Every structure is written in structure tokens, then in C-alpha cells.
Amino acid sequence: GAVVSQHPSWVICKSGTSVKIECRSLDFQATTMFWYRQFPKQSLMLMATSNEGSKATYEQGVEKDKFLINHASLTLSTLTVTSAHPEDSSFYICSARSTGEYTDTQYFGPGTRLTVL
Amino acid sequence: EDQVTQSPEALRLQEGESSSLNCSYTVSGLRGLFWYRQDPGKGPEFLFTLYSAGEEKEKERLKATLTKKESFLHITAPKPEDSATYLCAVCLTGGGNKLTFGTGTQLKVEL
């Protein structure tokens, strides 16, 4: 149980184009999902918290107009990198929050490798 | 300021050589401490959640413990397939369910 998928697993795009990444919780509903980015040899950095049916909350220093987040259903959140540039190249990982009577855990997707040429 | 520090940064073990990874934290209020395993090019895989000092959890060769200042991930008789980066993360009271990650311990288990 608690499987999270991401699509695509990797994408290469030209500078100036927009890229959409999907994050799905496959066997549970998630009112809250999170988006992270990870640079080589570094740990995960939280970009934003995505709440179903409401606006995302962005971490300090993350441009909300550049990284558009939509959480349209209890199983799907999307991250759109608008007008991507080479410095946006990174590993983007989503997580979905699963809550139960005694548990509250984030389960992560497999990640999306974005390369901007 | 809330801080999560993992040590060592890297660890090389021989197969069967037991050891421990450390995660020390200085936070205003802890809701939970999480351990994840991350393989290269993949997302983190959930291992354990610990909520209160004195709590212990086990899974196969791994055992996680928690005190008021730190958590240990004990690896007993490791195998090469245990090689990965192990990440510790904390969820803070009043932190909106966000996780703050440590920098990880890169473990390599050799034959």
C-alpha cells in the first residue's frame, strides 16, 4: 500500500518552454501533497505544500509564478515549471501525506529528472 | 533555529559488520521523526516513524530508536543490498506537516 507515482520520470526540454509533472497517490487519498527538489549530493528541499481544493503554500525563495501547483483531486497534484531555464534542471520529487488513526506519514514518488537545454 | 544533523556523512562497512547511523535534532517541538532510504536516482522509501522518546521500531536488519535529542538507525549484519543513502526527517509541532530533512548518511556495504 501507499504507492505514489510520478510522470514523466524524466524530461528534456528547451529553454523557455513549460513542463508539467504529475504526482498521483495510487491507493490512498491525499488532501496534502508536497513538492521537493534535490540537487546532486544534496538532501531534499521543500518547495511547496499542495492542499486539495486550495492554493499551494510556497517556501521562502520559491517563485510561485514560476512553479505552478494545482491539486485538483484527492489523488492528483501537478507541478508546472513555466519558462524553464537551465538553472531549473534538477530532480523533482513529490510526496503524499497518508493519515490514519495512529499514523501520519509522507510517501514519496520516484522523482522526475528535468533537464533544460 | 530548528536543526537536523546526520552523522557520519558516509560510512563503508563490510558485509555482516553492524553499525549505527545518528540523527541529532534541535527543534522547538517534535511531532515525529522519520527515517527514509533513498537509492540513487529514486525517491525516498519510507522506513520508520518515531513519535516519542524511548520508542523503538524494527524491520528486518534495521532498528530505529529515539531519545529527546537524537535518533539512531542500527543496522545489524548488513548486506550489500542495504547500500543506500539514509535520510532522517523531522516534523515539527506547528510546522504544518512539513518535513525538514537532514543531509543523509551514504552507506556502502561491501562483500
Helices (H), chain B: none
Residue B81: Cβ-neighbour burial (10 angstroms; 0-12, 13-18, 19+): exposed
The tens digit of pLDDT for each residue in B44-92 reads 999 999 999 999 999 999 999 999 999 999 999 999 999 999 999 999 8
Pairwise CB contact (< 8 Å): B97 & A46: no
CA distance A75 to B105: 32
Task: Residue A87: name the closest of A60, A70, A67, A109 by CA.
Answer: A67
Helix (H), strand (E) at residue B33 = strand B30-38
Identify the pLDDT of residue B93.
Answer: 85
Q: Grid coordinates in use for B70?
A: 537524537
pLDDT digits (tens, 9 = 90+) for A34-93: 999 999 989 999 999 999 888 999 999 999 999 999 998 999 999 999 999 999 999 999
Name the phi and psi angles at A87, rounded to 5. -70, -10
CB contact under 8 A, B46 and A106: yes
**Phi, psi angles (nearest 5°) of residue B43:** -80, 160
Chain A residues within an 8 Å CB radius of B101: 43-44
**Rounded CA separation A115/A91 (Å):** 9
- Say if residue A1's pLDDT is above 90: no
* C-alpha B109, offset from chain centre: 16
Q: Is pLDDT of A101 > 80? A: no
pLDDT at B50: 95
**Do residues B89 and B76 make contact, with C-beta atoms less than 8 angstroms apart?**
no
**Gap between the Cα atoms of A63 and A86, Å rounded:** 16
- Position B95 pLDDT exceeds 80: no
Cβ pairs A/B, distance under 8 A: 54
Q: Is B1 on the interface with A (CB under 8 A)?
A: no
Residue A78 Cα distances to A109, B100, B104, angstroms = 13, 22, 27
